[in-house]
Amino acid sequence: DQQVKQNSPSLSVQEGRISILNCDYTNSMFDYFLWYKKYPAEGPTFLISISSIKDKNEDGRFTVFLNKSAKHLSLHIVPSQPGDSAVYFCAASAGWGTDKLIFGTGTRLQVFP
Amino acid sequence: DARVTQTPRHKVTEMGQEVTMRCQPILGHNTVFWYRQTMMQGLELLAYFRNRAPLDDSGMPKDRFSAEMPDATLATLKIQPSEPRDSAVYFCASGPTGVDGYTFGSGTRLTVV
């Protein structure tokens, strides 16, 4: 079963507007969440993370929001740029002492001019 | 700029053949992961090692897959015999202890015909 779900396989956004990527999880033991970005023919690269003790973390144009009661997190990119076009993976970690990351299926973001 | 090196980048093989994928983790990283990317499952964790000892290989089909770390500079993932359903991109990642700081390699794209 898919413990981390990204229900939108793709998203298209105009340059300068906000991109919102969503992620849902089912395991209440998850306590740390990350977003990775992946360009074609490259490996995923770390983008931003959030601990379950927070509900928001911001890094420049990227903000991650966590709603623990809904088991939902989202990544906001504002303003979106063409270079943001990539596949975005949501990932979750199940507690201190584990190195395992469980990834979602990814959302392909396209930012057009 | 430290990087995880994976070889080969591409592999096409016939069904039933043995396939070996190699990974050179970043020097000093004591945790090494193997992931597989498919359209349906996203990034699946196959196995991971800490200080060269296998910690979890529950995501790996045991009858045909095997993962080893002969030394700290080399991790291998072997499939024998290979099947068409094994066609995917296989990623290696390494990191220090904890879930931050993973670095992924560029992947091996495997096609089994």
CA dist., res. A91 & res. A96, Å (int)? 15
Are A106 and B42 an interchain contact pair (Cβ–Cβ within 8 Å)?
yes
pLDDT of residue A68: 95
Q: At a CB cut-off of 8 Å and minimum separation 6, what does B59 contact?
A: B44, B45, B46, B47
Please write the tens of the pLDDT for every residue from A13-42. 999 999 999 999 999 989 899 999 999 999
How sure is the predictor about A98, in pLDDT bands with cuts at 50, 70 and 90?
low
Instruction: Decide: A9 and A90 in contact? Cβ < 8 Å.
Output: no
Query: Which of B41, B102, B106, B109 should we substitute to test contact with A (largest number of A Cβ atoms within 10 Å)?
Result: B102
| Residues of A with Cβ-Cβ distance to B50 under 8 angstroms | 99
More confident residue, B83 or A93: B83
| Residues of B with Cβ-Cβ distance to A45 under 8 angstroms | 104
Q: Tell me the residue type at A113.
A: P
Query: Which of A96, A99, A101 should we substitute to test contact with B (largest number of B Cβ atoms within 10 Å)?
Result: A99
- Longest Cα separation, chain A: 44
Are B35 and A103 an interchain contact pair (Cβ–Cβ within 8 Å)?
yes
Instruction: Decide: A111 and A20 in contact? Cβ < 8 Å.
Output: no
Interface check for A41 against chain B (CB to CB < 8 A): the answer is yes
Q: For B74-102, what is the mean pLDDT?
A: 90
How sure is the predictor about B69, in pLDDT bands with cuts at 50, 70 and 90?
very high
